[in-house]
């Protein structure tokens, strides 16, 4: 034997036979050594022996299988050294070819040892992997076979024998029986057998037992309604271990449904849950049936558990289909019917609609000579319904398109048919019967509008005489049809008025329309159009420099008034009159019964009498004028500003004051001023006015009135107010004549929102630490002033002590101090005044190049709306506010500049001075 260049032979196995035949359970011990003719020439200690098992894996004492192990051999008789392979109690599986090798002097010798194990004890029906079903009785199969020899068998799990005393197990010759299988029964079992003879043999086998769960339907099929020609899906969901398979069947067939061009069968698996989906690609009526969903896995395949089945019905509906619906016709006064037939499943419900009016005609309707009847027209293939709309006495109003609408739970279908009614002419579409013309009128005509079917012929008459194409002053156009109004036709009679033929053209005309059904006529009047009369005029609003008139047109025989104009001049003056013209614009929101046109004259002089003349115009021309004289008043103070702010402020510490610009009194409004004070209001039934939209009623005044002057426009913001308090606010307008009467309103601030640690005092701007800091600073300033006084007057104090220690003596220190006396003493009085102001609470803050302004109390702090702040809702008619307050005026500036926001705490404001108003006094603390 030689392989891969290795030497064959030289290996000796001193065993009683080769191949060696043994019985199951016998012990094997075989020596591998070199033959004597080789070993005598070498040192036995240099030989390295190795054994390989039947799978050619090297055997070591660390990795030996089936009880095989090695021992070194040292003996006599030519066998000085070797390696012994030992197997204690051979088993059937130990049969095979084992190989021994010996390595010496770069040579390797090999030899094979054949072992045959003859089994007297064996197993059958012992699969190494078996399973049971959860909750069912299970058998783990295995049988011992010893050819008639008595055998003792046992079952073990995790090395512990299983006993019948447990009550969960029973045994027979072929299996171990688990009475009620649980998940804990899964695992590895060992079946052991032993022959009951003198040379007893034993054998064991390992069996892996798995516990499976039979499928359970967790989402059964729900009854599904499908529609012919559309897709539909059936769903079911099952759970099991292992995950089950889903099969679909149609009732009456044993075939399993698979994916085809009509069906799509799919599943979605999540863990041990499987959802089965049966999709119908295009539903047919014969798909209506019961369908079953069967869930199965290996447990059901072995008939160890029942299959899980759910079934339900697929209901197939057919959308309505309208058939045999045709147009109908009839003559006025006669009868006609519209018939609509529709098939569908379930049977459709039919309704008729007249499209031009939206009138609905359903079963049971019977009004105005119209009845509705219904009939069942079902066939074996499909249910059906017929709805008839019967007109017993046709009128021209019945003519038009009718829509048949058939609807069931599957869908809706509709079809439109036409009902044609032949009727005699009528003049329902004629809007006007009186017409006006004049000499300058171009292409003037009288229209005659008739509605008829079939189309009518027209004839015109004047004074019972027919008007023909050859008549002077007249011409007749061809009848014109209206595209948007079926069966409406217009005939136009053109009339020429030359100023001398009024007797011939003015008067009554008769238009006659006739067709095959009947004849009708209408009388139309033609009159001479005139210019409008004098307009009606009233003064609506007037002041020193402008007047607003309300002008109303008088009734006119002719075209409507299109324009008004006024001419005006100073009474007794020699200047030519001025003229102003406006369009006639009705303003319904002012007065719906008297439609005014607003005419405003804005360039008048105060205290002057004017002569006004008003005219109205239409297409004929200007009418006569209406004269009016009016004296403008002298320049007066402005009107009362109307406050538009809400009665309840949205803020706890401020009020946004909004007002409407009043009449300026004939002179430009230069500024506004605001006064405010805290007040008490009357109580009603123990509570404040429950309807603030009606305002609050003053009862008492709680604080002195404060004034803010120099405001240029609305809105204005008053800040630093008390939460939940009532304030009476007054707004005044100023012009060169003085101050207006104030517009007033009582406004309540919002209640304060409580917050942890919030201060309840009014000096919320300064914290306790800040107050302490100010106090320390004041003390330090006082200390410096006193020490300086001691230093210069009495040569004592801290500074004097420091001078003496540093400078070496009082006189030297005094001389040094004298060089800065003027500056230091000058500052002393200033510091003293600042300390005094601080003690009195009147310390001013330097602003804009050291200009001083008095401190304001919390109630007096005012500013305007910030750009980032939400503005209150603007009342109707309110002018758009600016974002900034007027700025504090510079010195020697008589015109108030634009206001600005005050700086941070403390806030200040200073009213500008004018010729007629003094600056606001310094507010008291």
Q: Count of domains in the chain?
A: 7
Among 119-128, 459-468, 534-543, the range scoring the smallest mean pLDDT is 119-128
Q: Is the model's pLDDT at 557 over the cut of 50?
A: yes
Residues 169 and 225 in one domain: no
Residues 187 and 161 in one domain: yes
Strand order in the sheet with 68-73: 11-12, 28-34, 82-87, 68-73
Question: What single-letter DSSP state applies at residue 332?
Answer: T
d(CA 856, CA 843): 11
Q: Which has the higher per-residue pLDDT, 350 or 771? A: 350
At which of 586, 612, 631 does a domain end? Answer: 631
* pLDDT tens for each residue of 90-103: 777 788 898 999 88
CA distances from 478 to 206, 314, 460, 475, 484 (A): 113, 66, 13, 10, 19
Residues 101 and 31 in one domain: yes
Q: What separation, in Å, do the N-terminal and C-terminal C-alpha atoms of the chain show? A: 127
| Structural domain includes residue 759 | no
> Which pLDDT does position 889 carry in this prediction?
38
| Structural domain includes residue 589 | yes
Band (309; pLDDT cuts 50, 70, 90): very high
Residues 494 and 447 in one domain: yes
- Number of alpha carbons in the 13 Å side-chain half-sphere of residue 327: 9
* pLDDT tens for each residue of 528-554: 999 999 999 999 888 888 899 999 988
Band (760; pLDDT cuts 50, 70, 90): very low
Band (518; pLDDT cuts 50, 70, 90): very high
Query: Mean pLDDT over residues 191-212, rounded?
Result: 86
Q: Is the model's pLDDT at 566 over the cut of 80?
A: yes
Query: Mean pLDDT over residues 582-604, rounded?
Result: 75
| Structural domain includes residue 200 | yes
Token output for 653: 């510490």
pLDDT > 70: percent of the chain: 78
Token output for 583: 């369009």
Mean pLDDT over each residue of the chain, to the nearest integer: 80
Q: Is the model's pLDDT at 894 over the cut of 90?
A: no
| Structural domain includes residue 898 | no
Residues 135 and 162 in one domain: yes
Among 128-132, 233-237, 275-279, 683-687, the range scoring the smallest mean pLDDT is 683-687
User: SS3 of 89, please?
Assistant: coil
At which of 212, 237, 265 does a domain end? Answer: 212
Query: Residue 681 maps to which CATH number?
Result: 2.60.40.10
d(CA 665, CA 240): 95
Those residues whose C-beta lies under 8 Å from the C-beta of residue 387, and which sit 6 or more positions away, are 339, 340, 350, 351, 352, 363, 372, 373, 374, 375, 404
Closest CA to 715 of 882, 898, 902, 888: 882
Q: Is the model's pLDDT at 310 over the cut of 90?
A: yes
Token output for 901: 């926001």
Task: Tell if the pTM clears 0.75, that is, is over it.
Answer: no
Please provide residue 775's backbone torsions phi and psi, each rounded to the nearest 5 degrees: -60, -45
| Structural domain includes residue 902 | no
Beta-carbon count within 10 A of 354 CB: 19
> Which pLDDT does position 129 carry in this prediction?
92
d(CA 674, CA 731): 5
Residues 646 and 547 in one domain: no
Q: Is the model's pLDDT at 876 over the cut of 60?
A: no
> Which pLDDT does position 90 carry in this prediction?
79
Residues 613 and 652 in one domain: no
User: SS3 of 428, please?
Assistant: coil
Q: Would you call the peptide bond into 454 cis, given omega within 30 degrees of 0 as the criterion?
A: yes
Among 71-85, 511-525, 691-705, 716-730, the range scoring the smallest mean pLDDT is 71-85
| Structural domain includes residue 761 | no
Beta-carbon count within 10 A of 257 CB: 16
Contact between 527 and 438 (Cβ < 8 Å): no
Query: Mean pLDDT over residues 397-419, rounded?
Result: 93
Residues 18 and 49 in one domain: yes
Residues 26 and 111 in one domain: yes
| Structural domain includes residue 360 | yes
Residues 432 and 490 in one domain: yes
320: left (phi over 0), alpha (psi -120 to 50) or beta: beta
At which of 92, 118, 144 does a domain end? Answer: 118
Contact between 605 and 545 (Cβ < 8 Å): yes
* pLDDT tens for each residue of 860-871: 333 333 333 334
Among 69-78, 487-496, 708-717, the range scoring the smallest mean pLDDT is 69-78
* pLDDT tens for each residue of 314-366: 999 999 999 988 999 999 999 999 999 999 999 999 999 999 899 999 998 88
769: Cα separation from own chain's centroid: 49
Residues 435 and 510 in one domain: yes
Token output for 55: 């799978």
What sign does the dihedral 393-396-397-401 (CA atoms) show?
positive
Query: Mean pLDDT over residues 7-22, rounded?
Result: 64
User: Which domain does 568 fall in, by range?
Assistant: 536-631
d(CA 817, CA 825): 11
d(CA 920, CA 925): 15
> Which pLDDT does position 911 carry in this prediction?
36
Residues 459 and 490 in one domain: yes
| Structural domain includes residue 858 | no
């Amino acid at each position: 034997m030689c392989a891969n260049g290795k030497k064959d032979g030289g290996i000796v196995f001193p065993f009683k036979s080769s191949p060696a035949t043994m019985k199951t359970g016998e012990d094997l011990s075989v020596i591998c050594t070199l033959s004597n003719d080789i070993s005598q020439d070498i040192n036995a200690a240099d030989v390295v022996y190795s054994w390989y098992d039947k799978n050619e894996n090297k055997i070591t004492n660390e990795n030996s299988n089936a009880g095989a192990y090695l021992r070194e051999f040292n003996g006599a008789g030519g066998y000085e050294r070797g390696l012994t392979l030992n197997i204690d109690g051979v088993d059937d599986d130990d049969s095979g070819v084992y190989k021994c090798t010996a390595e010496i002097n770069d040579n390797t010798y090999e030899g094979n040892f054949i072992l045959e194990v003859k089994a007297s004890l064996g197993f059958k029906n012992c699969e190494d992997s078996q399973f049971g079903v959860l909750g069912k009785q299970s058998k783990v199969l295995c049988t011992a076979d010893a050819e008639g020899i008595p055998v003792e068998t046992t079952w073990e799990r995790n090395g512990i024998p299983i006993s019948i005393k447990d009550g969960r197990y029973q045994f027979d010759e072929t299996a171990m029986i688990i009475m009620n299988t649980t998940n804990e029964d899964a695992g590895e079992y060992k079946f052991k057998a032993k022959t009951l003879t003198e040379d007893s043999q034993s054998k064991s086998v390992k069996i892996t037992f798995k516990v499976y769960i039979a499928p359970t339907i967790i989402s059964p099929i729900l009854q599904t309604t499908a529609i012919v020609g559309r897709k539909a899906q059936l769903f079911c969901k099952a759970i099991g271990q292992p995950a089950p398979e889903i099969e679909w069947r149609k009732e009456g067939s044993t075939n399993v449904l698979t994916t085809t061009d009509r069906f799509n069968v799919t599943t979605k698996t999540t863990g041990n849950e499987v959802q089965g989906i049966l999709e119908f690609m295009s539903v047919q009526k014969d798909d209506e049936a019961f369908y079953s969903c069967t869930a199965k896995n290996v447990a059901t395949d072995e008939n160890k558990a029942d299959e899980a089945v759910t079934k339900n019905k697929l209901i197939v509906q057919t959308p309505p289909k309208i058939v045999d619906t045709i147009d109908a016709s009839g003559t006025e006064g006669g009868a006609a019917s519209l018939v609509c037939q529709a098939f569908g499943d379930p049977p459709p419900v039919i309704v008729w609609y007249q499209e031009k009016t939206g009138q609905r005609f359903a079963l049971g309707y019977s009004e105005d000579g119209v009845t509705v009847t219904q009939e069942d027209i079902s066939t074996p293939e499909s249910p059906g319904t017929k709805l008839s709309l019967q007109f017993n006495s046709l009128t021209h109003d019945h003519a038009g398109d009718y829509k048949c609408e058939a609807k069931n739970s599957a869908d809706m279908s509709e079809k439109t048919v036409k009902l044609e009614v032949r009727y005699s002419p009528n003049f329902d579409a004629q809007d006007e019967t009186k017409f006006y013309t004049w000499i300058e009128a171009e292409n003037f005509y009288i229209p005659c509008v008739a509605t008829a079917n079939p189309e009518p012929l027209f004839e015109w008459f004047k004074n019972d005489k027919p008007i023909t194409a050859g008549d002077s002053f007249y011409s007749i156009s061809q009848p014109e049809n209206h595209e948007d109004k079926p069966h409406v036709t217009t005939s136009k009679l053109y009339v020429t008025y030359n100023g001398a033929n009024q007797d011939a053209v003015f008067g009554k005309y008769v238009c006659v329309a006739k067709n095959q059904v009947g004849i009708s006529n209408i009388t139309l009047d033609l009159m001479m159009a005139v210019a409008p009369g004098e307009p009606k005029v009233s003064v609506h609003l007037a002041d020193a420099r402008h007047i607003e008139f309300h002008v109303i047109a008088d009734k006119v025989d002719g075209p409507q008034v299109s324009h008004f104009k006024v001419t005006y001049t100073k009474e007794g003056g020699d200047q030519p009159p001025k003229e102003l013209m406006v369009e006639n614009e009705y303003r319904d929101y002012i007065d719906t019964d008297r439609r005014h046109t607003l005419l405003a004259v804005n360039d008048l002089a105060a205290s002057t009498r004017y002569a006004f003349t008003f005219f109205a115009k239409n297409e004929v021309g200007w009418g006569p004028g209406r004269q009016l004289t009016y004296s403008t008043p002298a320049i007066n103070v402005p009107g009362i500003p109307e406050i538009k702010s809400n009665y309840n402020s949205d803020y706890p510490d401020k009020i946004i004051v909004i007002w409407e610009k009043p009449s300026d009194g004939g002179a430009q409004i230069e500024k506004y001023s605001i006064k405010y004070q805290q007040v008490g209001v009357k109580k009603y039934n123990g509570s404040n006015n429950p309807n603030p939209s009606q305002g609050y009623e003053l009862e008492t005044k709680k604080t002195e009135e404060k004034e803010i002057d120099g405001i240029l426009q609305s809105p204005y913001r008053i800040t630093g107010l008390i939460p939940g308090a009532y304030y009476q606010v007054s707004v005044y307008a100023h012009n060169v004549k003085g101050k207006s009467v104030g517009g007033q309103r009582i406004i309540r601030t919002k209640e304060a929102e409580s917050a942890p640690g919030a201060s309840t005092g009014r000096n919320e701007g300064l914290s306790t630490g800040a107050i302490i800091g100010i106090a320390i600073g004041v003390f330090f300033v006082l200390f410096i002033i006193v020490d300086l006084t001691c230093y210069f007057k009495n040569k004592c104090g801290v500074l004097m002590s420091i001078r003496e220690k540093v400078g070496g003596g009082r006189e030297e220190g005094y001389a040094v101090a004298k060089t800065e006396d003027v500056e230091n003493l000058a500052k002393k009085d200033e510091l003293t005044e600042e300390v005094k102001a601080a003690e009195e609470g009147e310390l001013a803050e330097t602003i804009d190049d050291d200009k001083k302004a008095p401190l304001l109390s919390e109630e007096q702090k005012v500013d305007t709306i910030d750009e980032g702040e939400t503005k209150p809702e603007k009342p109707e008619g309110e002018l758009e506010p600016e974002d900034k307050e007027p700025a504090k005026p510079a010195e020697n500036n008589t015109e108030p500049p634009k206001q600005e926001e005050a700086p941070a705490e403390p806030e200040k404001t200073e009213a500008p001075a004018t010729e007629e108003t003094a600056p606001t006094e310094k507010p008291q603390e």
